[in-house]
Amino acid sequence: MEVFVPVHPGEARVYTCGPTVYNYQHIGNMRAYVFADTLGRALQFKGYKLTHVVNITDVGHLTSDADEGEDKMEKMASRQGKSAWDIAKFYQEDFERDLTRLNVQPKQHPRATEYVDAMIEWGKQMADKHCYELESGLYFDVSTVEDYGRLARAVTDDGEGRIDTVEGKRNAADFAIWRKTPAGETRQMEWDSPWGKGAPGWHLECSVMGEKLLGFPFDIHTGGIDHREIHHPNEIAQNQAFCECGGLSEATNSGAKIWMHNNFLVERSGKMSKSSGEFLRLQLLVDKGFHPLAYRMMCLQAHYRSELEFSWEGLEAALTRLKRMVMAAERLSDAESQPMAEHPKFKPALDKFEEAISDDLNTPIALTALEDAMATKKVDAGIKRAVVEHMDAVLGLGLFDLTREALRIRPENAKITEAEIEEALTRRKAARAEKDFATSDAIRDELTAKGVDVMDGDPLGWEWKLG
């Protein structure tokens, strides 16, 4: 743990490895962006002016990280009979829709294909000292930079971190800067370069977009923990080569001063794999009746460096917790938010929150601080509202924009509409008022048969849900 000292006073510049837009994002991927968004919000909370880039990989990512296999974009394009460009556009839009649904604040989304000229320039600059050509393209020689793989604590000759498969590589961990289109083939996405017609290697784009948009060094680079082994060490090696700077004992030599990785969301039955037919994506949660922000809550409940196991029960628990918070916020809805003057009653919760957020983004504790603030008694509602808004600005749950009704579970394939349920419940209420319990029970049974759980006296005021 170290104190965050910005490269540019008063500013925080963050780069987050973005999605490869050849398919829908699964909710594990979305955990990476919820984490990055919460980090960005925390930096703003601390008063920094935030510049945050999340790139869009629309070229160059192969089905294997070992410079092998097909380009993910082209493979999906031929499978769907569309152009790679159409595939990229479609899945980028879907990704951005999911970000919005998760209250992820707008960020810059540069596309790799817009930076190919800049990537070629980088390649030219590094080529003489750091690269060599093979039949299949231009490769980076990792032995030409100091401390290669230090981020992953990798052993590069044997064992961990070993990646070869391409014949002729000098070191197992060498990687492609440029992939030549094989003779006699045409790719949908290809460009002319000094190393022949082809496409850039995947790692190059993040180095180039990071440098172009944020300048070297910038403050924080994020990504999922899988990137700590190959993608980020390779980015760092390129950055060292580009800057012609030395070893990694100097943090700024890696391009970004701090590298942060979120751990994985795991799911035991394998539904996270994009190759498993219907995989777990945000839309599936919505179709099963869960509000997307229940998933954000689920993410916040775990520390970003811990593995998080997905289960429907866990999601339902997160939804219930969110609902309790929304109910507390509803009680403050009439209050005018007051300037958050020093208020002794809120000091413990505010201090706890501040400490938790500053302690490597400890959102599980921060959530309990928010609950403490909400439970504080005999205080001015306006000040309470200000405190809740202050904390929610970091957590991004949007508590004052949500309603209990919006959080109600209603799967898309339900056999009954919401209006029909409300109508039946109104009839049932009238029957009960007249002590006509036979009718009341009959209506309840009717609803049960259609999959509606009627929840009399539910403390959360849910009244019904679709099972």
Cβ 155 to ligand AMP shortest distance, Å: 22
* Beta carbons of 409 and 465 less than 8 angstroms apart: yes
Q: How far apart are CA 56 and CA 73, in angstroms?
A: 12
Counting beta carbons within 10 angstroms of the beta carbon of residue 214, is it exposed (0 to 12), middle (13 to 18) or buried (19 or more)?
A: buried
Of the pair 73, 367, the CB lying nearest ligand AMP is at 73
* Beta carbons of 231 and 17 less than 8 angstroms apart: yes
Of the pair 272, 421, the CB lying nearest ligand AMP is at 272
Q: Which does 206 bind (CB under 5 to 8 A by kind): Zn ion, ligand AMP, none?
A: Zn ion
Cβ 261 to ligand AMP shortest distance, Å: 8
Of the pair 67, 267, the CB lying nearest Zn ion is at 67
Instruction: Tell me the site size for Zn ion, rule CB under 5 A.
Output: 2
Q: Which does 32 bind (CB under 5 to 8 A by kind): ligand AMP, Zn ion, none?
A: ligand AMP
Strands 265-266, 137-140: pairing is unpaired
Q: Which does 224 bind (CB under 5 to 8 A by kind): ligand AMP, Zn ion, none?
A: ligand AMP
If one asks whether residue 260 binds Zn ion (CB under 5 A), the answer comes out as no
If one asks whether residue 17 binds Zn ion (CB under 5 A), the answer comes out as yes
3-class DSSP state of 307 = coil
Cβ 28 to ligand AMP shortest distance, Å: 2
Please name every residue paired with 108 in a beta bridge, in sequence order, or none if there are none.
53
* Beta carbons of 292 and 282 less than 8 angstroms apart: yes
Q: How far apart are CA 259 and CA 256, in angstroms?
A: 7
3-class DSSP state of 286 = helix
Of the pair 25, 171, the CB lying nearest ligand AMP is at 25
Q: Which does 233 bind (CB under 5 to 8 A by kind): ligand AMP, Zn ion, none?
A: none
Q: Which residues bind ligand AMP (CB under 6 A)?
A: 17, 19-20, 28-29, 31-32, 223-224, 226-227, 262, 264-265, 272
User: What is the amino acid identity at position 249?
Assistant: S
CA-wise closest residue to 179 among 55, 69, 44, 299:
69
Token duo for residue 285: 């949660």
Cβ 33 to ligand AMP shortest distance, Å: 8
Q: How far apart are CA 206 and CA 72, in angstroms?
A: 17
Binding to Zn ion, residues 199-258 (CB under 5 A): 206
Cβ 270 to ligand AMP shortest distance, Å: 11
Cβ 199 to Zn ion shortest distance, Å: 16
Of the pair 206, 230, the CB lying nearest Zn ion is at 206
Of the pair 224, 289, the CB lying nearest Zn ion is at 224
Of the pair 204, 361, the CB lying nearest Zn ion is at 204
Cβ 310 to ligand AMP shortest distance, Å: 9
Cβ 258 to Zn ion shortest distance, Å: 15
Of the pair 18, 289, the CB lying nearest Zn ion is at 18
* Beta carbons of 384 and 374 less than 8 angstroms apart: yes
Q: Which does 408 bind (CB under 5 to 8 A by kind): Zn ion, ligand AMP, none?
A: none
* Beta carbons of 267 and 280 less than 8 angstroms apart: yes
Token duo for residue 295: 């998933």
CA-wise closest residue to 203 among 74, 55, 34:
55
Nearest residue relative to ligand AMP (C-beta): 224
Q: Cα 260–7–204 angle (5° rounding)?
A: 55
Q: Which does 326 bind (CB under 5 to 8 A by kind): Zn ion, ligand AMP, none?
A: none
Of the pair 171, 222, the CB lying nearest ligand AMP is at 222
Q: How far apart are CA 462 and CA 335, in angstroms?
A: 24
Cβ 57 to ligand AMP shortest distance, Å: 6
Token duo for residue 263: 């751990």
Token duo for residue 201: 């290697």
Contact positions vs Zn ion (CB under 5 A): 17, 206
